[in-house]
């Protein structure tokens, strides 16, 4: 059995992996987000970077939605209730809904939506919604345990200079 301290260290380690994957997404020219779904034994079921950057990316292919959908294809609902989705940023309403509908029982996120909003500003590629994932999850019949924000400064790094870029040039 894991202790609260062990669980916290595990959470931080998986969040750091998600943050590192968000850098890979940015380096691919995608929005800097990533998510990992981990089973109750600490084994990674799936990890995904963001693939929703217009014009060539599907705008619904957020990392969290893609990871949750793939986890649901790979594991039965009974296993996902004990799984955790680790994500570099607080899931949006769409992604929180995907976590809920796939049955994943826990979300741990790094960067809060509020902090993300200060980083993206009015960038049209991230018309963020001021709707916390806890509020979305609280409306469902099935509980979703939510932990975060954690490691916000680390999670903010990949976003610095990315938003409001034009013609492939990143601003500082």
Q: Based on the number of CB atoms within 10 Å of its own CB, is 51 exposed (0-12), middle (13-18) or buried (19 or more)?
A: buried
Place of tokens 């919604």: 129
Judge whether 3 lies within some domain. no
Judge whether 52 lies within some domain. yes
Which of 159, 30, 17, 154 lies closest to 84, judged by CA? 17
Least confident residue range of 39-48, 56-65, 97-106, 127-136: 56-65
Judge whether 172 lies within some domain. no
3-class SS string, the chain: CCCHHHHHHHHHHHHHHHHHHHHHHHHCCCCCCEEEEECCCCCEEEEEECCCCCCCCCCCCCHHHHHHHHHHHHCCHHHHCCCEEEEEECCCHHHHHHHHHHCCCEEEEEECHHHHHHHHCCCCCCCCCCCCHHHHHHCCCCCCEEECCCCHHHHHHHHCCCCCCECCECCC
Judge whether 164 lies within some domain. no
Judge whether 82 lies within some domain. yes
Calculate the average pLDDT of the chain. 89
Judge whether 169 lies within some domain. no
What angle (nearest 5°) sits at the alpha carbon of residue 50, between those of residues 44 and 54? 165
Structure confidence at residue 171 (pLDDT): 41
CATH code of the domain in which 129 resides: 3.40.140.10
Q: Structurally, how many domains does the chain consist of? A: 1
Query: Residue 4 pLDDT > 60, yes or no?
Result: no
Which residues form the domain of 46? Answer: 9-159
Structure confidence at residue 160 (pLDDT): 94
The neighbour count for residue 64, using CB atoms within 10 Å, is 32
Judge whether 72 lies within some domain. yes
Residues identified as active-site = 64
pLDDT band at 6 (very low <50, low <70, confident <90, very high): low
CB 98 within 8 A of CB 71: no
pTM over 0.95: no
State mean pLDDT over 67-89: 97
Judge whether 43 lies within some domain. yes
| Distance between CA atoms of residues 24 and 46, nearest Å | 16
- For the segment 103-133, what is each residue's pLDDT rounded down to a tens digit? 999 999 999 999 999 998 888 777 778 899 9
């Amino acid at each position: 059995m894991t202790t609260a301290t062990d669980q916290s260290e595990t959470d931080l380690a998986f969040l750091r992996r998600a943050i590192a994957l968000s850098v890979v997404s940015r380096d691919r020219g995608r929005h800097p987000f990533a998510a990992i779904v981990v089973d109750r034994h600490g084994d990674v079921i799936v990890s995904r970077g963001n693939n929703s950057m217009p014009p060539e990316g599907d705008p619904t292919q957020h990392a969290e939605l893609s990871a949750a959908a793939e986890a649901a294809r790979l594991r039965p609902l009974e296993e996902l209730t004990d799984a955790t989705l680790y994500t570099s940023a607080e899931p949006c309403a769409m992604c929180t809904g995907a976590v809920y509908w796939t049955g994943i029982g826990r979300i741990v996120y790094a960067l809060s939506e509020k902090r993300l909003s200060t980083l993206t500003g009015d960038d049209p590629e991230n018309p963020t919604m001021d709707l916390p994932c806890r509020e979305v999850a609280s409306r469902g019949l099935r509980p979703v345990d939510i932990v975060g924000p954690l490691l916000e400064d680390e999670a903010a790094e990949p976003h610095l200079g990315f938003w409001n870029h034009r013609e492939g040039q990143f601003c500082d």
